[in-house]
Structure 1
Amino acid sequence: MGGPGLSALLLFCWAGATWAELDESGRIHRGVDLILDCSLAKDDGHHWGLSASKLNMAPATLVLKQVPVPDDGMLDGFTDFPGVSEAQGDTPIAFEASVDQVQLPHAEVLLHAACQEKVVTCELSHLPQTGQEATSQGVAYFISSIQGTVLASVEFQVMTQTPSVQHSLGAFASLHCGFSVAPGSGPLQIEWRWQHQGQGRRVYSWEAGKGQALRAGAWMASTELLEAGNASLALPDLTLRDEGTYICQISTHQHQAQQIIHLSILETPKVRLNLVNEASSPTLFCSMTGYYPLDVSVSWSREEPGGSPTSANGAYFSNHRQSSVGTYSLSSSLQVEPSPKGATYRCQVSHVSLTEPIVLEIWVAPPEKGASMGFFIATGLFFLALLFLGFWRCQAIHVNPKSHGLQSMN
């Protein structure tokens, strides 16, 4: 089959097993039919192809015939694939493809994916062919109108086990991209590209046994691993410029296919909670630093002894501040309401990098008895001192006016 193309769906928890053999390690492998619910892409010219939109797809069933998988003792109850009309939803288009010419590494993961609540992306598309090649294979004539079963063979496939990865700044990322090619397909060309927010660039290219890194430090597997079908890309010392969508594109003279991998940068916020001006006007400050991406949620609550937590309103927030490495900071302040029993205040911070919110709490004691009276006494003494100094100055001027006048003239 020419190559995979547009959309996603689930793998049925069902297969048929008909033969068994031992591999080199002594494990028993059996041939099973892997059934995937797929989408077949159609372009604007009403031909199945690579350029279709999500609104222009048709359902299709892909049956990979007799794929070798390790026998874990649970294959005895499997039956043969009954045919499209008896399978899921009477899918009008089905592809039954043999896998004699390529390998499907980790096929047992595909077999048990739906049972383990994992999603498998199945993409089908037609690679246009011209001239003698198209006439001999006949693909261009029937693929756009077939209703029934298409018998084919898998000649080329590209896959990934990690369609989405998340790392922190400075970390090492490995973007998995595997492939299988039928014998005689010719030399490979491999290209990794990056796209993000309307921008794009090449990251790494490999051809004729030579690799070229367009991003500093990027490297790919050795020739031995490439021969085994591993075109994974390594990215050390991640920065925010590395965040985005990576496209692993593998080409031969006859085929071209790609996998898309999303790399996200996540940094967890560091949170601190402090109490200032405790005696006169107690205020709480909750500071969050070093987080990425931008979106962060902060809430305050208050709880008195023997009571239930309630929302604490009236908090103020600073503007987001961005550091030189691209991470963000934010602070929030809350003026404490006096309570004769005291209260526990909590600052709760939520962020996409956190599996659960960070909650910090602090106890604000009730006002000390006599504190208010002491404040008034101290204030009164201060004003009395000012009055005494003013009265003494007036008395000094009244007792010796001439001396004061002479001093002023001089």
Structure 2
Amino acid sequence: MAKDDPPVIFEASVDQVQIPQAEALLHADCSGKEVTCEISHYFLQAGQEATAERTARFIANVQAAGGGPGISIVLKTLRDAENRAAWHPMLNLPLSPRRTVPTTVKFQVTTQTQALSFLLGSSASLHCGFSMAPGLALRSVEWRLQHKGSGREVYSWTAGQSQARREGATLDPEQLHAAGDASLTLAGLTLQDEGAYICQITTSLYRAQQIIHLNIQASPKVQLHLADQRVPPTLICRITGYYPLNLAVTWTRKEQGGAPVQVSGASFSSLRQSMAGTYSISSSLTAEPGSAGATYTCQVTHVSLKKPLEVSAQVVPPEQRPIFGVILASSLFLLALLLFLRLTR
């Protein structure tokens, strides 16, 4: 359409097909989510329907921003010149008295959310539902994974025969037929499971799909310890086993009776990656105990955490450090020496 052309409004009847996510999309703007709709012509393969010359078909993709629901809808309209007084000049389609293009929904594929995040090692369920008009038959279901320019088949169902290409991938055949539920379950998630999953449903006449983005996360583990006893001492905050890469580390210092103050000057080790694909890094900071000692806190923020992780250590001046460890070590040495002399007599 040209920039100045009036918009085309499609009016869709859902008498034959149910759209479970319609309410969520109709009221998405109430929660601040933007809804987009793209409509294009849908062309049947040659010889699929004898009356194809008297019908026009469109496929509409409706999505809610921010990981909301998504629907792909196949629309069909009749070219009924006798009962329609007005025609759309560009599309050559009959218009209703409200100047809309009347259509009927023949087939739809929907997902409850288009973006999901799961922890490494857990199980994920990717929702994909469909419904079709009477007279259509389900032919196949295919799940594919696309990630970083490469793709592979994950699961397929054709004429009652299913095949899992990924170990632990399952689909419930009973729910497939009884409820139009083609949802995929993945057990024991690894980082290789991350990416865009394409759920494609094929009927005897139509084909449509939904895309669900699966993000894998691994929560970091944090440890804080003194690297040495030199003056001033060095604190090392070790962060291990996290994914994805983005991570924030903040240091604070708190003297007795005072408020925490953010400190700078921390250095970082080189990034390390395990065989499983998770990351590890260390942050080092030179501590200034002051005259009365201070508490240092290493705070780690990551997308997998509901709230930041914090670990703290108290640093005291050299003159306040206990000598119990030295006395204990000397006592143990003398005890071992006496025991050795007694046994050698």
Q: TM-score, normalised by structure 1?
A: 0.63
Structure 1 pair 256/143, CA: closer, same or farther in 2 (3 Å)?
farther
Task: Determine the structure 2 residue equivalent to 1:135.
Answer: 53
Q: Do the aligned partners of residues 191 and 294 (structure 1) sit closer, same or farther apart at CA in structure 2, a change above 3 Å counting?
A: same
Cα distance change of structure 1 residues 240 and 139 upon mapping to structure 2, 3 Å threshold:
closer
Aligned partner letter, 1:104: I
How far did residue 110 of structure 1 move? 4.0
- CA 1:143–1:241: 2 relative to 1, 3 Å: farther
Q: Distance in 1 between matches of 2:307 and 2:168?
A: 34
What's the secondary structure of 2:276's corresponding residue? coil
**Deviation of residue 364 (structure 1)?**
1.4
SS of the aligned residue for 2:244 comes to coil
1:103–1:139 distance in 2 versus 1, CA, 3 Å: closer
Task: State percent identity of aligned pairs.
Answer: 53
> In 1, are the aligned partners of 2:224 and 2:312 still within 8 Å (CA)?
yes
Residue 401 of structure 1 aligns with which residue?
none
Query: After the TM superposition, which residues 86-165 of structure 1 pair with which residues of structure 2 at under 5 Å, given as runs?
Result: 92-105=7-20, 107-118=22-33, 122-129=37-44, 132-139=50-57, 145-146=90-91, 148-165=99-116
Q: Secondary structure at the match of 1:125?
A: strand
Pair 1:232–1:299, CA change in 2 (3 A): same
* TM-score (norm. length: structure 2): 0.74
Tell me what 2:121 maps to.
170
Aligned length: 286
Structure 2, gaps ≥5 residues long:
59-78, 80-86, 323-345
Task: Kindly provide the amino acid, as one letter, of the partner of residue 54 in structure 2.
Answer: S
| 1:234 positional shift | 1.1
Work out which of the residue numbers 296, 306, 314 in structure 2 matches 1:363: 314
Q: Which secondary structure state, in structure 2, belongs to the residue aligned with residue 226 of structure 1?
A: helix
**Counterparts of 1:121 and 1:370 in 2: how far apart (Å)?**
65
Contact 1:340–1:367 (Cα < 8 Å) also in 2: no
Between structures 1 and 2, the one with greater strand share: 2
Deviation of 1:106 after TM superposition, in Å, equals 5.3
Q: Alignment partner of 2:177: what SS?
A: helix
**Change in CA separation of 1:323 and 1:356 when aligned onto 2, cut-off 3 Å:** same
Return the alpha-carbon distance in structure 1 between the equivalents of residues 151 and 89 of structure 2: 33
The DSSP-based 3-state class of the residue aligned with 1:93 is coil
- Cα offset for 1:261? 0.2
Question: How big is the shift at 1:257?
Answer: 0.8
Measured in 1, the distance between the counterparts of 2:298 and 2:186 equals 37
Q: Is the 8 A contact 1:194 1:200 kept in 2?
A: yes
Runs of 4 or more consecutive aligned structure 1 residues displaced over 6 Å after TM superposition: 140-144
Cα distance in structure 1, aligned partners of 2:201 and 2:246: 36
Structure 2: distance between partners of 1:193 and 1:154: 26
Which residue identity lines up with residue 136 of structure 1 in the other structure?
Answer: R
Aligned CA RMSD, in angstroms, stands at 3.0
Contact 2:247–2:301, Cα closer than 8 Å, also in 1 = yes
C-alpha displacement of 1:212? 1.2
Q: 2:282 aligns with which of 331, 341, 357?
A: 331
Mark the structure with the bigger radius of gyration. 1
State the Cα distance separating 1:356 from its structure 2 match. Answer: 2.8
